[in-house]
Amino acid sequence: MSEPVISVRGVRKSFEDGRIVALRGMDLEVAEGEFVALVGPSGCGKSTLLHLIAALDRPDEGAIRVAGRALEEANDLSAHRAHEVGLIFQLHNLMPALTASENVQVPMFELGLPGRERRERAHALLAAVGLEGRERNRPPQLSGGERQRVAVARALANEPPILLADEPTGSLDSEAGATVLDLIERLRRERGLTVVLVTHDTGVAARADRIVTMLDGHVVGSSPNDRSAAAPTTRLAASTRVTP
Ligand SMILES: Nc1ncnc2c1ncn2[C@@H]1O[C@H](COP(=O)(O)OP(=O)(O)O)[C@@H](O)[C@H]1O
Ligand SMILES: [Mg+2]
């Protein structure tokens, strides 16, 4: 097998001078183009893990490699954030005063693209997420599902090979959530993206290649998701039951 695009080895991360341990002995490998659903009870460390992979924070111990690069050795983490990973959060985190187009352009400033190219790329990205014609709308003028689609476009602004999504459908009704998930799946197929997606929804997890289950800051289960198998929900219930 070629080198995994994401490799997390023996990672430990604590907060508040070690009183809160978010990750303890966390290991994860994700292959290029793979779609991994990350599940587990609230507080088990899922968001912390995504933040470390995105280099928004550093581990206390352990090693993280992304796209062949060891993050602890990288001296330009902002380049990593700009080029390698796109992040989507549960709440879209768009800037309310900026238009949809301007929100999508924010990550492009790191690349120093000229304004015209930024606008053209934002236009194409918004079209790809089904929001052509909404470029000038600001977040308060968009529905929850539309805002989350802008967030997907923003995450892909710099064409990163990896998409990290933290409960991207968690704040949406089921129809809007399904639209956002369809979109992520389509973009993944078209662009060969590697996707790590945190979810509480077994129906969402069932669409991944693999379901990784976390508990208390580490992995307790990893099962390939054979979507051709019958009754996936039954299998899911057995393999990924999440304690309430
Ligand atoms: N910045 C932080 N400061 C203090 N504690 C934090 C911080 N971020 C996360 N935690 C704690 O770390 C643990 C794991 O959190 P998190 O990764 O957000 O879990 P999950 O996303 O699985 O719900 C929780 O106990 C949480 O309260
Ligand atoms: Mg979380």
- Nearest ligand 1 atom to the CA of 48 is 17
Q: Is residue 55 part of a domain?
A: no
Q: Is residue 114 part of a domain?
A: yes
Q: Which ligand is nearest to the CA of 166?
A: 2
Q: Is residue 243 part of a domain?
A: no
Which residues is 11 bridged to in the sheet?
A: 26
From the CA of 167, how far away is ligand 2's center (Å)?
A: 7
Q: Is residue 34 part of a domain?
A: no
From the CA of 42, how far away is ligand 2's center (Å)?
A: 7
Start-to-end C-alpha separation, the chain: 36
> For residue 49, what is the DSSP state?
H
Name the residue with the closest Cα to ligand 1, atom 20: 43
Q: Is residue 82 part of a domain?
A: no
Q: What DSSP assignment string belongs to 175-237?
A: HHHHHHHHHHHHHHHHHT-EEEEE-S-HHHHTTSSEEEEEETTEEEEEEE--TTSS-HHHHHH
Residue 131: domain span: 92-156
Name the residue with the closest Cα to ligand 1, atom 4: 15
Q: What is the pLDDT of residue 235?
A: 39
Quick check: helix, strand or coil at residue 145?
helix
From the CA of 145, how far away is ligand 1's center (Å)?
A: 26
From the CA of 46, how far away is ligand 2's center (Å)?
A: 5
- Nearest ligand 1 atom to the CA of 49 is 17
Q: Is residue 214 part of a domain?
A: no
Q: Which ligand is nearest to the CA of 44?
A: 1
What domain count does the chain have?
1
Name the residue with the closest Cα to ligand 1, atom 8: 48
Per-residue tens of pLDDT for the chain, all 244 residues: 578 999 999 999 999 999 999 999 999 999 999 999 999 999 999 999 999 999 999 999 999 999 988 998 877 888 888 889 999 988 878 999 999 999 999 999 988 899 999 999 999 999 999 999 999 999 999 999 999 999 999 999 999 999 999 999 988 888 888 988 999 999 899 999 999 999 999 889 999 999 999 999 999 999 998 765 544 444 344 444 444 4
From the CA of 125, how far away is ligand 1's center (Å)?
A: 32
- Tens of pLDDT, residues 169-223: 988 888 888 988 999 999 899 999 999 999 999 889 999 999 999 999 999 999 9
Residues with CB under 5 A from ligand 2 (ion): 47
Q: What is the pLDDT of residue 2?
A: 77
Q: What is the pLDDT of residue 64?
A: 97
Decide: 100 and 138 in contact? Cβ < 8 Å: yes
Decide: 181 and 169 in contact? Cβ < 8 Å: yes
Q: What is the pLDDT of residue 227?
A: 67
Q: What DSSP assignment string belongs to 88-108?
A: E-SS----TTS-HHHHHHGGG
- Nearest ligand 1 atom to the CA of 198 is 21
Q: Is residue 211 part of a domain?
A: no
Q: Is residue 117 part of a domain?
A: yes
Q: Which ligand is nearest to the CA of 49?
A: 1
Residues touching ligand 1 (Cβ under 6 Å) are 15-16, 20, 22, 40, 42-48
Q: How far is CA 15 from CA 56, 59, 90, 159, 168, in A?
A: 14, 10, 22, 32, 25
From the CA of 123, how far away is ligand 2's center (Å)?
A: 31
